[in-house]
Structure 1
């Protein structure tokens, strides 16, 4: 039988804060593309260059209690890490070249439905009644907000291509969330996050070396360090550990639903920092998303 989770305050808070911090990523990326000459891969490599020392340090500090994983589990962990923070991130950064930060976050947050469906059909995990209601409210809100974004930006060059890239990103990120829910109990949240992020960092750097000279990352970092620092720490290191801690306490389904605050946070930040327009449908959608999150966060799940 799959493990059943209840919503603890700590798990809810970790996931909520981590999701808001993750939502700053799109804002920082859009600002970087607008302010400096840099391609998506270089910006992604810069992000991981600043994040790498923190993951290495955490892994060193937690080395005493290493769990014994089979070769199969190690392969799964590496693949999950590559999907979550290399493949997904690269597709996401490329997509942000063509669509607004608000729309990027809305498309990306189709992933909770993929998480729930994967858990239900692959792992036979029951979808509880309050999860269904929360999903209905949050996705109704996201759908309304998407309609407003579509009316505003669908004539922009590359709009549909950017949307497709982010859509694929949402699928690969859903696989990461499901995989993390299965692997974290074996390694612990902190070590899992470190291993997954190190796997992704290796993939990103190898990709970077195929397209650029190795020395170019140093010159990029020296010139644009502020973007790397913000992306690496605020939008990567802190939220990745917060989300992993939340997943350990409340399960991947609940993390996926609570994380729906991300589009709301991004839309508001995009309006404030980037001057993106807020449509009336986005405001109505925001109310529905928050209502769904509150239903999940304030009502304890009962065993069924």
Structure 2
């Protein structure tokens, strides 16, 4: 491949990854708007999100199954794909939607952005991947940033009902999502990125639909145009498009570069929360965000030297 073509691929990889990260960052704002505007509960909104996402992932899974020369996948690997999907887009999404009922969208995104550090810990303790000195400093900076931002939120929301519970739910969401990422990092080379993404999403959708039926039963949903509108927007703009954008971008620029570019997420969410939700922006939040983005960037940066 010529240098010009390589640069073009790199440019498109950057654009797709950046767009995917910004679109993913709209999720918290849309969820908060839905809670405020249409009075919907967490599992119903999550069900709508996946209901309108499923057709796209079914189409991708069907298209992928018709491609010749695909790598055969063992039953054990399929089991891990299902587990990853349930962990990443069912469990973590459920904790996330619950937490967003009690804390701001900006704080949600900052706490959630602990997932790269949790992924590093999982890889270190379970898969014996060493942490470099740079990554150690990155983890320290990231947690310092979260602490500063959280302190600032406490000055505003202290005493607000469910504040600490909501924070805990997002914290658990970050842990479960880190588990998904650690697992996907081992399954994608075996299954393929597009196929993994589609089938993991389908597995998560199955878990969410079952959860909804157990909690609400058949016919328990009050369908309104406003609720459906939020479900469609969450499905297309905060789920389907960003998931495929990030997958396509990662193919072109690599997972480490994609992780660095995705650090725009907290900044994007804070800006959107300010303009669309009227959430205040304060000094500790800005400082904490800068430190979190710096820490995540250091974690994602691929050193030219081996990690020891």
Using structure 2 for the length normalisation, give the TM-score.
Answer: 0.85
Q: Which is worse superposed, 94-103 or 64-73?
A: 64-73
Distance 1:289 1:114, change over 3 A: closer
Other structure's SS at 1:224 match: helix
Asked if 2 retains the 8 angstrom alpha-carbon contact of 1:189 and 1:241, the reply is no
Q: Give the equivalent residue in structure 2 for 1:50.
A: 52
Q: Give the equivalent residue in structure 1 for 2:231.
A: 228
Asked if 2 retains the 8 angstrom alpha-carbon contact of 1:130 and 1:301, the reply is no
Distance 1:10 1:68, change over 3 A: same
Q: Deviations over 1:245-267 (max 9, x none)?
A: 4555534x665555443222211
- TM-superposed CA distance for 1:79, in Å, is 0.6
Q: Give the equivalent residue in structure 2 for 1:4.
A: none
Q: For the residues of structure 2 that align with 1:302 and 1:263, how far apart are their CA atoms?
A: 27
Asked if 2 retains the 8 angstrom alpha-carbon contact of 1:181 and 1:247, the reply is no
Q: Which is worse superposed, 58-67 or 152-161?
A: 58-67
Aligned-pair RMSD on alpha carbons?
Answer: 2.6
Pick aligned residue for 1:38 from 22, 37, 40: 40
Q: For the residues of structure 2 that align with 1:246 and 1:150, how far apart are their CA atoms?
A: 37
Pick aligned residue for 1:271 from 257, 271, 274: 274
- Corresponding position: 1:143 with 2:147: yes
- TM-superposed CA distance for 1:273, in Å, is 0.7
Asked if 2 retains the 8 angstrom alpha-carbon contact of 1:258 and 1:293, the reply is no
Distance 1:199 1:134, change over 3 A: same
Q: Deviations over 1:62-92 (max 9, x none)?
A: 2224431222111111011001011111111
- Corresponding position: 1:238 with 2:241: yes
Q: Which is worse superposed, 28-37 or 116-125?
A: 116-125
- TM-superposed CA distance for 1:287, in Å, is 3.3
Q: Give the equivalent residue in structure 2 for 1:97.
A: 101
Unaligned runs of 5+ in 1: 1-7
- Corresponding position: 1:250 with 2:254: yes
Q: Which is worse superposed, 208-217 or 267-276?
A: 208-217
- TM-superposed CA distance for 1:225, in Å, is 1.8
- Corresponding position: 1:61 with 2:67: no
Q: For the residues of structure 2 that align with 1:220 and 1:213, how far apart are their CA atoms?
A: 14
- Residue correspondence of structure 1 range 172-187 to structure 2 within 5 A: 172-187=176-191
Using structure 1 for the length normalisation, give the TM-score.
Answer: 0.86
Q: For the residues of structure 2 that align with 1:117 and 1:287, how far apart are their CA atoms?
A: 22
Q: Deviations over 1:9-41 (max 9, x none)?
A: 665554443222211111000000001121100
- Residue correspondence of structure 1 range 1-304 to structure 2 within 5 A: 13-63=15-65, 64-65=67-68, 66-128=70-132, 131-132=135-136, 134-217=138-221, 219-220=222-223, 222-245=225-248, 250-251=254-255, 258-292=261-295, 301-304=303-306
Q: Which is worse superposed, 261-270 or 181-190?
A: 261-270
Other structure's SS at 1:62 match: helix
Distance 1:95 1:54, change over 3 A: same
- TM-superposed CA distance for 1:212, in Å, is 2.0
